Amino acid sequence: MREINIPISDETIRELKVGEPVLLSGIMVTGRDAAHKWMIETFIKQTRAPQGDDLQAYDELKKLLNGSVIYHCGPVVAGLDTKEYRFVAAGPTTSIREEPYQADVMKHFNVKGVIGKGGMGAKTLKGCQETPGVYLHAIGGAASFIAQSVKKVLGVYKMEFGVPEALWVIEVKDFPAVVTMDAHGQSQHAAIDSKSRQVLDELLAKPY
């Protein structure tokens, strides 16, 4: 089990290989559908004019995400009334929904890691090679267990998106994950998909 501190260097990213388990410590940011769409439209493709505190949030996120990690997570958060936030549950959400956005977000913000479940596609895999970065698979169904690695909630952006879709800035210690897409073009998800299709084709070809 390799221990990795955030921010993560390019050298460390290139050392990581598919199948390698890691423990992450440092500051990361959660982000799902609304967050990725907002970043793409407002700051990368600029098809939407910044509104409200968008520019301030952008400046701060540029610093936070540089060398850091985006976690596809819709957390359950306690302390909303007092703003003494605490993650009660922090399981990964399905990553493929962010496939149209992820590579561009990684490149623009210099994001070194993306955490989620289920893997991502060819565009993100290419983004992992170019940025460079890695995709990390977190444990589905272990939301309460993963929340124990979240030691502190440092802040939140775009709360108007709702609690699950907001960008939460969290400090983690020994966050468990496995590299399933690396900076060398290897994807465990693509390999499994290819093998599954081969088995299916063989089954369909058998006479009954």
In a domain, 1, yes or no: no
User: What's the pLDDT at 134?
Assistant: 98
Q: Which of 36, 72, 137, 189 is catalytic?
A: 36
CATH number, position 74: 3.20.130.10
User: What's the pLDDT at 98?
Assistant: 97
pLDDT tops 70 at residue 197 = no
pLDDT tops 80 at residue 149 = yes
In a domain, 119, yes or no: yes
Whether 36 sits among the annotated catalytic residues: the reply is yes
* Domain hosting residue 168, numbered range: 15-205
In a domain, 166, yes or no: yes
In a domain, 199, yes or no: yes
Provide the number of structural domains found in the chain: 1
CB atoms within 10 A of CB 176: 17
In a domain, 151, yes or no: yes
Give percent above pLDDT 90 in the chain.
86
User: What's the pLDDT at 190?
Assistant: 60
* 32 contacts 74 by C-beta, under 8 angstroms: yes
User: What's the pLDDT at 188?
Assistant: 85
User: What's the pLDDT at 198?
Assistant: 60
User: In whole angstroms, what is the distance from residue 126 CA to residue 101 CA?
Assistant: 13
In a domain, 3, yes or no: no
To the nearest whole number, what is the mean pLDDT of the chain? 93
* 143 contacts 91 by C-beta, under 8 angstroms: yes
Strands 76-78 and 86-89: antiparallel
* Both structure tokens of 36: 């990725």
User: What's the pLDDT at 141?
Assistant: 79
Within 8 A by CB and 6+ apart from 93, the residues are 32, 72, 73, 74, 116, 117
What pLDDT, in 10s, does the model give residues 28-46? Answer: 999 999 999 999 999 999 9
Within 8 A by CB and 6+ apart from 173, the residues are 25, 149, 151
Give percent above pLDDT 70 in the chain.
91
In a domain, 61, yes or no: yes
In a domain, 112, yes or no: yes
User: What's the pLDDT at 142?
Assistant: 82
User: What's the pLDDT at 201?
Assistant: 54
Within 8 A by CB and 6+ apart from 147, the residues are 75, 87, 88, 89, 90
Strands 150-157 and 134-137: unpaired
What pLDDT, in 10s, does the model give residues 52-104? Answer: 999 999 999 999 999 999 999 999 999 999 999 999 999 999 999 999 999 99
pTM, two decimal places: 0.90
Question: How confident is residue 18, by pLDDT bands cut at 50, 70 and 90?
Answer: very high
